[in-house]
A and B are shown apart, each in its own frame.
Chain A
């Protein structure tokens, strides 16, 4: 079942009065439980597409539906609230709040949703356990390694039980071991919890583990391949 429907998305930036076409009519459906990597060369529109799907950047043309909600028909306040409740974000630079502990960083989203403190604590503990950091609950980001910080970021993204998680180059700042650990963890969450992950990435290690690979070139979907398992391409995958 499609949880995200991207329809004929175009995005034009005016950089120094010169129009830059970042997305040139992208159509994409993401189904529940998919583990999708959006790949492509620099400037192909990966991050822009992710920002549009995440409701952070309004497209110049086209529609994005999340569970049939036309995201950009929402008012600004509704859209922010929609992100809070329906979308999980993982950023390249982790972007944890430095003054909060790992547990507090995760609980923060739940607190913003107005959940009771007891539930916030319980859920934060659950998630830290899920990402294997139950012994780091009171550590601040500065006391964690890059890989650990990114795990906390994933736990934070999952805290509100979002419809899907958007991860923009999540492994870009990690070493090989941390990348492998993080991907193992995400794949496990995908398989066991049926969590939908969408990555934008340059990282071949991520591409190798992805179940679906959408390749963007010049703001268009160039290819969209599905794999039954890692490194195995679906025979009838579509080439755009």
Chain B
């Protein structure tokens, strides 16, 4: 009954000055909305960057010969790749598996040369692991009908002045270590959000590459997509017990991606904390005003027998109510905004060149897991309650005799 009365009085006090409370609630709504939406935007940007990299080039897990990643030499191919692929496909966590022959070579056109990674792929299985085929800008994907087709990135095409149907010669080592070369015909040009990848990677049919390498069914890399890329390290460890081959998760292959992923949470919370701190000062100001303009009334309450705990609780509850009106509205608005913008995206094509250099898409789709909403909501509630402590202490320190006489 006592607590209920204080609760009721606090709620009514919130609406004593509707304009002021409205402004504070609006600030909480906007702060929460802006914080969560920006967080969703940054998270979406980071997640897109990571998934772009994983889906175009890195994949979730890679298996190589133990010495392959030291020198990237064609002689370090995988033994019994077919049985290995079959075994990997049977695991529950495996979504898709593909085998590739991968070599480092020198691509030469009529006008220029450039060092490239040549990936010999099985088009059918590779398209389940890599989404490069979805970024086809010109021509067609590796055609089975053409002789020695090659798929190149638009940046390499510019550098070597190549077009669809242009001829491209690639020099590289075969599995015996002899220098060899192959002539390829450009059948398609892709344009992914990662310009560095587009400039340095070409795709050919694995069969064609293996012929030039001098060994049938050569496989240097098995790329795997799993059910959740966040669990890749765990799957790597479980696979590592079964084989002596080198198994690397995407984080091992690309430490910068792992760094981005592990820091995204930290950065988002730092960002939200900054917003919360700004709100805290606004709330301290408002609640201090609310306490100071009610000095006489608070003094009267203390005089007639409302103890300090209840006076403190009253001010804290008022702040809590202000927050609890603002935060859910802000969360709902941000959820709706993220839902909508997550569908239509934000077009940053004006900055396409700069973004692609960093491997980022020009369309940003904000996304935020539900856990963030709860954590950010809690962060806002804690921040505002912390903000209320000083005004509440100020109320506690009032001397009833002096407070009552205050005009």
Contacts of B404 in A (CB 8 A): 91, 93, 95
A-B interface contact total, Cβ < 8 Å: 66
Q: Name A109's contact: one of B9, B296, B305, B307 (CB within 8 Å).
A: B305
> What sequence of 0s and 1s flags, for each residue 76-94 of chain A, a beta carbon within 8 Å of any chain B beta carbon?
1100110111000101010
Q: Interface with A: B12-20, B93-101, B234-242, B361-369, which one?
A: B12-20
B69 to chain A minimum Cβ distance, whole angstroms, is 72
Q: Name A99's contact: one of B15, B303, B401 (CB within 8 Å).
A: B15
B5 located at the interface, meaning its Cβ lies under 8 Å from any Cβ of chain A in the complex: yes
Q: Interface with B: A111-119, A197-205, A227-235, which one?
A: A111-119
A108-B9 contact in complex given A95-B404, A99-B15, A114-B1, C-beta closer than 8 Å: yes
Q: Name A111's contact: one of B5, B15, B16, B300 (CB within 8 Å).
A: B5
> What sequence of 0s and 1s flags, for each residue 47-70 of chain A, a beta carbon within 8 Å of any chain B beta carbon?
000010010110000000000000
Contact B304 A109 (CB under 8 A): yes
A112-B310 contact in complex given A97-B9, A97-B297, A99-B9, C-beta closer than 8 Å: yes
> What sequence of 0s and 1s flags, for each residue 1-27 of chain B, a beta carbon within 8 Å of any chain A beta carbon?
110110001001101100000000000
Contact A84 B305 (CB under 8 A): yes
> What sequence of 0s and 1s flags, for each residue 363-406 of chain B, a beta carbon within 8 Å of any chain A beta carbon?
00000000000000000000000000000000000001100100
> Which of A54, A84, A99, A117 counts the most B-chain CB atoms under 10 A from its CB?
A99
Contact A81 B305 (CB under 8 A): yes
Contact B306 A51 (CB under 8 A): no
Q: How far is the CA of A51 from the CA of B402 in the complex (A)?
A: 11
A137 located at the interface, meaning its Cβ lies under 8 Å from any Cβ of chain B in the complex: no
B302 located at the interface, meaning its Cβ lies under 8 Å from any Cβ of chain A in the complex: yes
Q: How far is the CA of A114 from the CA of B305 in the complex (A)?
A: 12
Contacts of B304 in A (CB 8 A): 83-84, 89, 109, 112, 156
A213 to chain B minimum Cβ distance, whole angstroms, is 24
Q: How far is the CA of A97 from the CA of B6 in the complex (A)?
A: 12
Contact A99 B1 (CB under 8 A): no
Q: Which residue of B lies closest to A76 (CB)?
A: B308
Contacts of B400 in A (CB 8 A): 56
Contact B16 A98 (CB under 8 A): yes
B14 to chain A minimum Cβ distance, whole angstroms, is 9
Q: Name A57's contact: one of B300, B310, B401 (CB within 8 Å).
A: B401
Contacts of B4 in A (CB 8 A): 111
A174 located at the interface, meaning its Cβ lies under 8 Å from any Cβ of chain B in the complex: no
Q: How far is the CA of A49 from the CA of B41 in the complex (A)?
A: 66
Contact B306 A112 (CB under 8 A): yes
Contacts of B307 in A (CB 8 A): 77, 80-81
Q: Which residue of B lies closest to A168 (CB)?
A: B404
Q: How far is the CA of A85 from the CA of B300 in the complex (A)?
A: 15
Q: Give the residues from 6 to 55 in chain B that come closer than 8 angstroms, CB to CB, to chain A.
A: 9, 12-13, 15-16
Q: Which residue of B lies closest to A83 (CB)?
A: B305
Contact A98 B1 (CB under 8 A): no
Contact A95 B300 (CB under 8 A): yes
Q: How far is the CA of A116 from the CA of B4 in the complex (A)?
A: 12
A116-B1 contact in complex given A51-B401, A95-B296, A97-B297, C-beta closer than 8 Å: yes
Contact A83 B401 (CB under 8 A): no
A111-B296 contact in complex given A56-B400, A84-B304, A99-B13, C-beta closer than 8 Å: no
A100 located at the interface, meaning its Cβ lies under 8 Å from any Cβ of chain B in the complex: yes
Q: Which residue of B lies closest to A82 (CB)?
A: B305
Q: Name B305's contact: one of A57, A85, A97 (CB within 8 Å).
A: A85
Q: Name A98's contact: one of B297, B302, B303 (CB within 8 Å).
A: B297
A112-B303 contact in complex given A91-B404, A99-B9, A100-B12, C-beta closer than 8 Å: no
A164 to chain B minimum Cβ distance, whole angstroms, is 14
Q: Name B5's contact: one of A91, A93, A112 (CB within 8 Å).
A: A112
Contacts of A156 in B (CB 8 A): 304
Contacts of B310 in A (CB 8 A): 112
Q: Name B1's contact: one of A81, A109, A111 (CB within 8 Å).
A: A111
> What sequence of 0s and 1s flags, for each residue 196-220 of chain B, a beta carbon within 8 Å of any chain A beta carbon?
0000000000000000000000000
Q: How far is the CA of A56 from the CA of B12 in the complex (A)?
A: 27
Contact B12 A89 (CB under 8 A): no
Q: Which residue of B lies closest to A166 (CB)?
A: B303
Contacts of A99 in B (CB 8 A): 9, 12-13, 15-16
Q: How far is the CA of A77 from the CA of B307 in the complex (A)?
A: 7
Q: How far is the CA of A46 from the CA of B16 in the complex (A)?
A: 34
A54 to chain B minimum Cβ distance, whole angstroms, is 7
B405 to chain A minimum Cβ distance, whole angstroms, is 8
B213 to chain A minimum Cβ distance, whole angstroms, is 84
Q: How far is the CA of A51 from the CA of B303 in the complex (A)?
A: 10
Q: Give the residues from 301 to 352 in chain B that come closer than 8 angstroms, CB to CB, to chain A.
A: 301-308, 310
- 29 A-B residue pairs with Cβ-Cβ distance under 8 Å, sorted by A, are A54-B303, A56-B303, A56-B401, A80-B302, A80-B306, A81-B305, A81-B307, A83-B304, A84-B304, A84-B305, A84-B306, A89-B304, A95-B296, A95-B297, A97-B301, A98-B16, A99-B9, A99-B12, A99-B13, A99-B15, A100-B12, A109-B305, A111-B1, A111-B2, A111-B5, A112-B310, A114-B1, A115-B1, A156-B304
Residue ranges of A at the interface with B (Cβ–Cβ < 8 Å): 51, 54, 56-57, 76-77, 80-81, 83-85, 89, 91, 93, 95, 97-100, 108-109, 111-112, 114-117, 156
